[in-house]
Amino acid sequence: MSLGEKKDPFLSSIEKALDPGRSITYKASWSFVNRLDDVKAELDNLMEQGDAVRVVRLYELFIAGSYEKMEEIDDSSGNMGMFFDDLFCSWVIARQRAGLDPKETVNQMLKIMDNDDYGVCYEVETDLVTILGKAEMLYFEETIYHRFEKSFSQEKGHEKTIYDFSYKVRKNADILKEIYVNAKKTKVYIDLCEKIGITPKDCEVIADIYKSDGQYEKALYFADKGLSLGQERSWPNYGSSGLPNLKRELLNILGREEEALQTAWQEFKNVPSEYSYEELMKYVSKKDREAWHRKAVSIAQKKSLCSGLIEFFIKTKEINVLSEKILSARHDELESLGYYALNDAAKKLSEKHYAAAAKIYRAMGMEIINKGKSKHYKYALSNFEKAKKLYGKTDLEKEWLSTVEIIRGNHSRKYSFIEDFEDVVAVKSI
């Protein structure tokens, strides 16, 4: 990649940071993007010092180079995409401070957004509507509206939901919605939804607007509407997980506390977790908290073990109940659960509930070797070592010996593991 004439000393800093021609792996991407951030921070500082005209060109070269770099980086983390968004917005701000033509700014913005093959501009409009000046915003809205109308007029027929329209219609509609929300054009937002079909996500947005304006009944109407739509079908990219909580907030504000409490209770009964418990307790009076807590624990005890349930027991300090659930679970059930929930549980249980903690460490080790994750064998060995020590504090030595026999029988050919495992077995800690 060529960065043009190297008259400005910042050009070499940009080129050095981008390191064109070198592939960036996933692991290296974090430090790579941090270096880009450092250079961008210098350009941002230059802009703040009043040198906007100079920095506009530097941002443009940085944008071009960063876009080309997408061919050479594993951006599975999304960090490069987030950096690009920030860089893009800084460039827009610099153009405004430099007093450049608003229409030209918007046209250049749209050119970059339209030719985005890597998704680095995905939902950048969410940030743009907060930084564009009055002139830029007016032209941005007019341009997107004309684009929308042109595409919409070509497809208008018997559409029932937003999914019946092409990507062009949906994308332009999504940008318009961001513009309308920022400008608090609620009626226009609703009119647009009536054209292409309202979604649960739209209902949440509209309900939030009405709530912020103190129009709680209207907000509740749209919250209910969104929840009803959510029950009719799945809504990829247009769903809303926040509607149940929003409805409860509105019910509470409107003096319908008992309804709010009952919906929170139903949600907890359906999916007991740390989060549904916290939501439930928001609507429980102080004097009733202990009784509702016991009801919640009773329900959770009857549910199948999962990561959310483990987090709930840890959050509520119901370690005895957690220990019982772990001891009654099958080994394969535990092995299928997430690492973080299990690891936190093992640490808590290791203090007093040795058998349950040992069972978890066993499960964590078995999950690694059963899937042949050779790079993680050292963690499996550490888990088995902990399991062995904890079993040694109980009368369940036979559980450890059974584990040893299973591993020897099923994994003896994993030579990079089994020899070190035999060293763990040989240590006389039981």
Beta-carbon contacts of 98 under 8 Å, excluding residues fewer than 6 positions away, are 52, 53, 56
Contact 90, 40 (CB under 8 A): yes
User: How far is the C-alpha of 46 from the C-alpha of 274, rounded, in Å?
Assistant: 46
User: How far is the C-alpha of 47 from the C-alpha of 63, rounded, in Å?
Assistant: 16
Cα torsion 384, 390, 392, 397: sign:
negative
Q: What is the pTM of this model?
A: 0.81
Per-residue tens of pLDDT for the chain, all 430 residues: 444 445 788 999 999 999 999 999 999 999 999 999 999 999 999 999 999 999 999 999 999 999 999 999 999 999 999 999 999 999 999 999 999 999 999 999 999 999 999 999 999 999 999 999 999 999 999 999 999 999 999 887 666 789 999 999 999 999 999 999 999 999 999 999 999 999 999 999 999 999 999 999 999 999 999 999 999 999 999 999 999 999 999 999 999 999 999 999 999 999 999 999 999 999 999 999 999 999 999 999 999 999 999 999 999 999 999 999 999 999 999 999 878 889 999 999 999 999 999 999 999 999 999 998 889 999 999 999 999 999 999 988 899 999 999 999 999 899 889 999 999 999 875 4
- Every domain of the chain and the residues it spans: 332-430
- Cβ of 386: how many Cβ atoms within 10 Å? 20
Residue 55, both tokens: 């920095």
Which residue's entry shows tokens 């969410």? 126
Residue 4 pLDDT: 47
Residue 340 pLDDT: 84
Q: Return the beta strands (E) in 14-78 as ranges.
A: none
Contact 398, 372 (CB under 8 A): no
Residue 158 pLDDT: 65
Residue 226: which region, alpha, beta or left (left: phi > 0; alpha: psi -120 to 50)?
alpha
Contact 56, 95 (CB under 8 A): yes
Opening angle at CA 303, ends 399 and 311, nearest 5? 75
The amino acid that residue 241 corresponds to is: S
| Coil/strand/helix, residue 24 | strand
Residue 1 pLDDT: 42
Beta-carbon contacts of 177 under 8 Å, excluding residues fewer than 6 positions away, are 189, 192, 202, 205
Residue 429 pLDDT: 58
Contact 118, 70 (CB under 8 A): yes
| Coil/strand/helix, residue 74 | coil
User: How far is the C-alpha of 16 from the C-alpha of 3, rounded, in Å?
Assistant: 11
Inter-CA distances, 430 with 56, 380, 404, Å: 69, 19, 13
Residue 53 pLDDT: 93
Beta-carbon contacts of 127 under 8 Å, excluding residues fewer than 6 positions away, are 85, 89
Contact 316, 277 (CB under 8 A): yes
User: Phi and psi at residue 24, in whole multiples of 5°?
Assistant: -110, 115
Residue 193, both tokens: 């939804």
